[in-house]
């Protein structure tokens, strides 16, 4: 049997890689992909805790399902904003999009 | 310790898929390749769900994440031509981000490993329960009055609002006037 901490460790590593992508990448599409990685790390944690600690109670799976919904909404809105920014600025490099900066 | 059987081998392979795919996403220059790495990573997570006896979530992961979100990202890459305007992959503070992330990971790893390290590990689960709720129980919990019916409805409204918002934001106004 695989101990619970191994799942948690992989999820933590995945989350940290995602944070690195969000902080260090310049392309907005790459940043969105990194956010998806972070959401997946959260999902691994939710399902692993559900399986090991409360397999009869469906809360863990239900939470994971809600994370799917949020991820889909985030991807749709994020990419729509990205297309709009690309049309107005001709760039998806986040440093070029500084309209709201003073 | 950990015996070598089909489950542990599958776990090792899936971990390699998940983490390798994730590293590919954050390091690759070509964003189409990045999207493919992302698909690999998401597939590994779907495998995790199978290992954790949540096959319904694994199917949803493949359908929603790989089938919809990854394809949406590929569309965004194509539409913004961001794979041709490459330039520098990382910004100037990337080393600062790397240090922060490594420190954060060490903190998380300490929090995960220290409680189960040595001395009998009081909180450690040693045997998995054989009875597991499946897709039918999940569906019942999502619409039960004392379950998740309210969050379920709110999630539906959120998804509808997000889809309408995405269409409104991404619509080309000049095209409509012409």
Query: What sign results for the dihedral spanned by CA atoms A31, A37, A39, A41?
Result: negative
pLDDT of the residue at B126: 67
**Mean pLDDT, rounded, of chain A:** 90
Do the chains contact at A65 and B142, CB–CB below 8 Å? yes
Residue A28: both structure tokens together: 């907005």
Q: Is A90 on the interface with B (CB under 8 A)?
A: no
Q: What is the largest CA-CA distance in chain B?
A: 74
How much of chain B, in percent, has pLDDT values that exceed 90? 47
Q: At what angle do helices B31-51 and B6-27 cross, to 10 degrees?
A: 160
pTM of the model: 0.90
Residue A35: both structure tokens together: 């956010």
Residues of B in contact with A7 (CB under 8 A): 48, 52
Please list, in sequence order, all residues whose beta carbon lies within 8 angstroms of the beta carbon of residue B63, skipping any fewer than 6 positions away. Answer: none
Domain boundary assignment for chain A: 26-94
pLDDT of the residue at B175: 63
DSSP 3-state assignment of A98?
A: coil
B5-60 pLDDT per residue, tens: 888 999 999 999 999 999 999 998 888 899 999 999 999 999 999 999 999 999 99
Residue B146: both structure tokens together: 């004392």
* Least reliable range by pLDDT among A41-55, B41-55, B122-136: B122-136
Q: What ipTM is given for this predicted complex?
A: 0.92
Residue B1 has pLDDT above 60, yes or no: no
Q: For A68-93, what is the mean pLDDT?
A: 89
In this structure, the number of other CB atoms found within 10 A of the CB of residue B32 comes to: 14
Phi first, then psi: what are they for B171, rounded to 5°? -65, 140
Contact (Cβ atoms closer than 8 angstroms) between residue B164 and residue B171: no
- The shortest CB-CB distance from B89 to any of A18, A25, A71 is to A25
The pLDDT confidence band at residue A85, using thresholds 50, 70 and 90, is confident
Count how many Cα atoms sit within 13 Å of the Cα of residue B38 in the half-sphere of its side chain.
34
Please list, in sequence order, all residues whose beta carbon lies within 8 angstroms of the beta carbon of residue B73, skipping any fewer than 6 positions away. Answer: A29, A32, A33, A36, A75, A79, B35, B38
Contact (Cβ atoms closer than 8 angstroms) between residue B6 and residue A1: no
Residue B119 has pLDDT above 60, yes or no: no
């Amino acid at each position: 049997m695989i101990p619970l901490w191994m799942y948690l460790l992989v999820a933590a590593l995945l989350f940290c890689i995602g944070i690195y992508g969000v902080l260090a990448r310049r392309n907005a599409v790459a940043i969105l992909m990194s956010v998806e990685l972070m959401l997946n790390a959260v999902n691994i944690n939710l399902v692993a805790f559900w399986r090991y600690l409360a397999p009869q109670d469906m809360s863990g799976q239900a939470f994971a399902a809600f994370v799917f919904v949020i991820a889909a909404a985030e991807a749709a809105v994020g990419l729509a904003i990205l297309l709009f920014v690309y049309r107005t600025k001709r760039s998806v490099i986040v440093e070029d999009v500084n309209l709201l900066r003073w | 310790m950990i015996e070598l059987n089909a489950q542990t081998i599958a776990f090792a392979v899936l971990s390699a898929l998940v983490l390798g795919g994730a590293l590919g996403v954050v390091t690759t220059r070509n964003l189409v390749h990045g999207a493919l790495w992302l698909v690999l990573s998401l597939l590994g997570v779907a495998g995790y769900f199978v290992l954790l006896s949540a096959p319904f979530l694994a199917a949803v992961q493949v359908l929603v994440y790989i089938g919809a979100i990854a394809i949406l990202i590929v569309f965004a890459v194509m539409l913004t031509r961001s794979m041709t305007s490459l330039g520098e992959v990382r910004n100037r503070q990337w080393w600062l981000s790397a240090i922060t992330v490594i420190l954060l990971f060490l903190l998380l790893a300490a929090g995960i490993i220290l409680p189960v390290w040595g001395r009998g590990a009081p909180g450690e689960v040693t045997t998995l329960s054989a009875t597991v709720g499946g897709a039918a129980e999940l569906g019942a919990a999502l619409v039960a009055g004392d379950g998740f019916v309210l969050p379920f409805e709110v999630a539906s409204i959120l998804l509808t609002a997000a889809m309408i918002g995405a269409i409104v934001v991404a619509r080309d106004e000049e095209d409509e006037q012409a």
